[in-house]
Each structure stands twice: as structure tokens, then as C-alpha cells.
Amino acid sequence: MSLLVFPSADELARHAAASFVRHAAAAIASHDRFAVVLSGGSTPRIVFRKLASDEFAPQVDWSNVHFFWGDERAVPPDHPDSNFRLAQEHLLAPLGIPDSNIHRIESERPPDEAAARYDADLTAFFGDGPRRFDLVHLGLGEDGHTASLFPDTVALGETQARVVANAVPRLQTTRITFTAPLINAARAVEFFVTGASKALVLREVLFGENHHYPSQMICPKDGTLTWLVTADAAAELPKQG
């Protein structure tokens, strides 16, 4: 695991964009395409804008980049809460990404159906090969959740399924989410964590003695794990040196 601390969200986003460029180039050189999993939230919005900027966009062969989502709320794609809509507005549309490279969760369907269809999409994309993404972006909730793997939900115990409809009673909703085994098969996973409100949970997730947060389940089997955090989010972490 690598832990990188940045003075601001803008600096974190700049590093994340540069990392995206490197991973994309390596994947396309290795197997002709780059499969990346996006997340929602305020920090990814900044990253999307960086990637779509004149500084970073020309560095990526976008025709060979395929976009997926690690989770989605049970809302239509044009809903303000849609993770897809966030990426569409700030990254995909500005870059003119073709529909054939966009693999969104059909969250306007009933959650169980949406999960099943997305799992079928993964099978169609990866074929007989392993379901292994080149890069997965994740966030961290104040309750320690990541993707839509929330504390005390059924999806945490899933060991076989790749995509599930996960009921979240506390939020009175059901979300579609990747499971931990699918995320852990990735070549690289990057967490983005910003804001002082995440400081305590970040300390517990990374250095706490009790392992009961969903985000602690993320540990790639044969890949890299990197935490990109802002200084305010890192305020409660043990001092190094």
C-alpha cells in the first residue's frame, strides 16, 4: 500500500490525472485497451476536469479507453445523483467519448435486473479472460464505506458474484455495486480522500486495530493499492519519522 498526502484537492486531482495517463499508456501498450472504473463524488469531479483539460487530454488515446462504474444509485442516468451523469458532464461529453466505450450501469431498471445486466456486460467485454480492470477509482465515506459496500450490508459477505444489488436500510435504498472480489482483481486501485470530515475514519481504516470497515476489504491480490489524501484528511494519521 502507498499513502500520498497532498496540500489541496487540486494537487491531488493533478496527481490522479497524471496517474490515469500513465496507467492508460501502459495498458494500451500491453493489451490494446484501458479499462477504468470511475466513482462518484466531489473529488472525482475535479479529476474529470483535469483529465478533460488541455494539459492532460492530448496525452491519452481516448479511442482505446473504456469506462465503467464501481457503483450506482438507483436513479435514471440524467438524475443529479447519478454517478454516470457526473462523469458524462465533466469528462465523457467534453472529450466526445463514443457510446461504444461507455459501459454504464442501467440504474433506471430494477436493481436486481440492473446488476444482472451489468454482470453480463462484463462478461461480454472480458470474454473468457479474467474480469480484471486496469484501474479502479474509489472514495471513502465517513462510515468507512466504499463503492456501495456499506457497513452491515449483505454484499460484504459476497465471495462469488461480481456485481450485486445491495440493500442499504440506513439510507432506505438499494444500490448496484461491484463486490470486493471484483475490485481486488484490479491491476491498480486508487482511493481519493479529501476533507477534514474524513480524518478520523481514515485513521481507523488505515491504522485502527479493528477491521470492520468495508473499505478495509480492498486489498488487490496482484495489483497496487494507493491512497491519495489531502492534508486535512490526513490530520489524524500517525506522524511519520
Amino acid in position 148: S
pLDDT score for 209? 85
In this prediction, residue 241 has a pLDDT band, given cuts at 50, 70 and 90, of low
Would you list the DSSP string of 214-240? Answer: GGGG---SSSEEEEEEETTTTTTSPPP
pTM: 0.97
Rounded Cα gap, residues 111 and 94, in angstroms: 29
Structural domain boundaries in the chain? 34-230
Per-residue pLDDT tens for 99-120?
Answer: 999 999 999 999 999 999 999 9
**pLDDT > 80? residue 162:** yes
pLDDT score for 210? 81
CATH of domain 34-230: 3.40.50.1360
Instruction: Report the pLDDT averaged over residues 22-42.
Output: 96
In this prediction, residue 41 has a pLDDT band, given cuts at 50, 70 and 90, of confident
Which residues have a Cβ under 8 Å from the Cβ of 62 and sit 6 or more positions away? 95, 96, 97, 101
Instruction: Report the pLDDT averaged over residues 160-164.
Output: 95
Mean pLDDT, the chain, rounded, equals: 96
DSSP summary character for residue 192: E
Three-state SS for 124?
Answer: helix
Sign of CA dihedral 197, 56, 99, 120: negative
pLDDT score for 239? 84
Instruction: Report the pLDDT averaged over residues 49-74.
Output: 98
Instruction: Report the pLDDT averaged over residues 152-169.
Output: 96
Per-residue pLDDT tens for 188-231?
Answer: 999 999 999 999 999 999 999 888 999 999 999 899 999 999 99
**pLDDT > 90? residue 44:** yes
**pLDDT > 90? residue 240:** no
Residue 186: exposure state from Cβ atoms within 10 A (0-12, 13-18, ≥19): buried
Per-residue pLDDT tens for 167-195?
Answer: 999 999 999 999 999 999 999 999 999 99
Which residues have a Cβ under 8 Å from the Cβ of 149 and sit 6 or more positions away? 71, 155, 156, 166, 177, 179, 180, 214, 215, 217
Give the residues across from 102 on adjacent strands.
67
**pLDDT > 90? residue 42:** no
Would you list the DSSP string of 1-58? Answer: -EEEEESSHHHHHHHHHHHHHHHHHHHHHHHS-EEEEE--SHHHHHHHHHHTSTTTGG
Distances 96 to 84, 92, 103 between C-alpha atoms, Å: 15, 6, 15
Q: Is the distance from CB of 94 to CB of 52 less than 8 angstroms?
A: yes
